[in-house]
Amino acid sequence: MLVVGEPKRIDRAIRRLQGALQGVPARGVRLTWRGGELRTTIHWARDDAFWWAFEPRRARDALVLGHAPEPPPPRESITCEINLPRTGADRKLAGMIVEDAAGALYLAHSGRMGGARPGQSKDGFREFLADGVWRSVEWPDGEESEALIVAPLDSPRLTRLLGRFVDAVRRYKAGGAAPLQTALCTDPSTRLPPAAACDRALVDAALYEELTKRGVFGGTTDLFSVGADGPRPLFGLIADGQPEEVALAVGALALAAARLGTKVKPILVAPLDLPGVENGALASLPFPCVRFQWRGARAVFDGLDDALA
């Protein structure tokens, strides 16, 4: 992936980001942070438990963010900022706009956190958010580094993905537990295109919640330590239905099932809308297939109870 360095493209990307983010405006809110404060309009994304605001600074735009499960009061503390350069790529700032091989744009972050506690570092955040969508990026001068892909700018789930980032930063700075790494699926996401990997994280989280409601975990947080009385569910996840991803998910699930035998119950999870050929192929597999579709920014599943029975 490439870091965007042209000022005009960065400006267009920031304007696209501002237009795509959702939230209820709250005017005249007093924002405070270590060493400063300002009064501005923030936007509360209620369903995703955070607020956001854009603040122009010298040579950069600051996307200011705060955790907010409840309506923001007149005075709020900032959880973090994603600072984006206006005049070109700048490794001194943690925020960046990156593009993939197809030219799609993403909001990304280096992992370096201002305001972190003593001993907390970029490497520490990388370890804390190990299951994030980390990708190698190339800068305009040829240097390479690793960045967290926060969200595709054209994703209808951009606000939800940004809310997950804010929550992860809040947990990290507070010294709390890392976001739950569900490890539900057999196939790794590291080879997926970044947009599909971002969606996959949302599907995985929604699937975990649904399984928890059904008592699949037996009171633990590890799917693979479910009680010994029956086969454990083992999932393969298809996030966006590209042929390579379908082959990876089906192959990994079949291989794991062959290795573990009757100890597991293989279940494939796939989007409701897939190309016709792929749909026909999935129907003939020797294990059940649960389909999901997006309801807003949440994945909802059809056939999950039947697959678990």
- Residue 180 located in a structural domain: no
Residue 30 near residue 23 (C-beta atoms within 8 A): no
**Which residue, 173, 208, 223, sits at the end of a domain?**
173
State residue 130's pLDDT score: 85
What is the rounded CA–CA span in Å between residue 24 and residue 120? 33
100/20 same-domain check? yes
How far is the CA of 274 from the CAs of 95, 251, 292, in angstroms? 34, 18, 11
Closest by CA position to 64, among listed 88, 31, 102, 30: 31
203/258 same-domain check? yes
28/138 same-domain check? yes
Q: For 164-211, give the DSSP string.
A: HHHHHHHHHHTT-PPPP----BSS-STTS-HHHHHHHHHHHHHHHHHH
- DSSP three-state, residue 46: helix
Residue 13 near residue 154 (C-beta atoms within 8 A): no
As a whole number, the mean pLDDT across the chain is 85
- Residue 163 located in a structural domain: yes
**Which residue, 173, 208, 232, sits at the end of a domain?**
173
- Residue 179 located in a structural domain: no
What is the rounded CA–CA span in Å between residue 286 and residue 307? 12
State residue 139's pLDDT score: 94
127/8 same-domain check? yes
158/300 same-domain check? no
151/206 same-domain check? no
- Residue 184 located in a structural domain: no
- What does the pLDDT look like over 185-195, one tens digit per residue? 665 556 678 99
State residue 222's pLDDT score: 43
- Residue 128 located in a structural domain: yes
Q: Find where tokens 């996401």 sit.
A: 189
115/166 same-domain check? yes
- Residue 143 located in a structural domain: yes
- Residue 181 located in a structural domain: no
- What does the pLDDT look like over 240-282, one tens digit per residue? 777 888 888 888 888 888 888 888 888 999 998 876 656 677 8
Residue 76 near residue 52 (C-beta atoms within 8 A): no
158/261 same-domain check? no
153/240 same-domain check? no
What is the rounded CA–CA span in Å between residue 205 and residue 240? 16
Cut 0.75: pTM above it: yes
Which structural domain range is residue 217 located in?
Answer: 194-308
40/135 same-domain check? yes
249/115 same-domain check? no
Domains identified in the chain, total number: 2
Sheet holding 80-85, edge to edge: 75-77, 24-33, 36-45, 50-57, 60-67, 80-85
What is the rounded CA–CA span in Å between residue 90 and residue 98? 12
- What does the pLDDT look like over 103-113, one tens digit per residue? 999 999 999 88
* Sign of the C-alpha dihedral computed for residues 101, 105, 107 and 109 taken in this order: positive
- Residue 187 located in a structural domain: no
144/225 same-domain check? no
**Which residue, 110, 139, 173, sits at the end of a domain?**
173
**pLDDT tens, position by position, for the chain (309 residues)?**
999 999 999 999 999 999 999 999 999 999 987 767 889 999 999 999 999 999 888 888 999 999 999 999 999 989 999 999 988 888 899 999 999 999 999 999 999 887 666 666 788 888 888 888 999 999 999 999 999 999 999 999 999 999 999 999 999 988 877 766 555 666 555 667 899 889 988 998 898 888 888 877 654 444 444 444 667 788 888 887 778 888 888 888 888 888 888 888 889 999 988 766 566 778 788 889 999 999 999 999 999 999 888
How far is the CA of 256 from the CAs of 6, 235, 270, 290, in angstroms? 46, 10, 18, 18
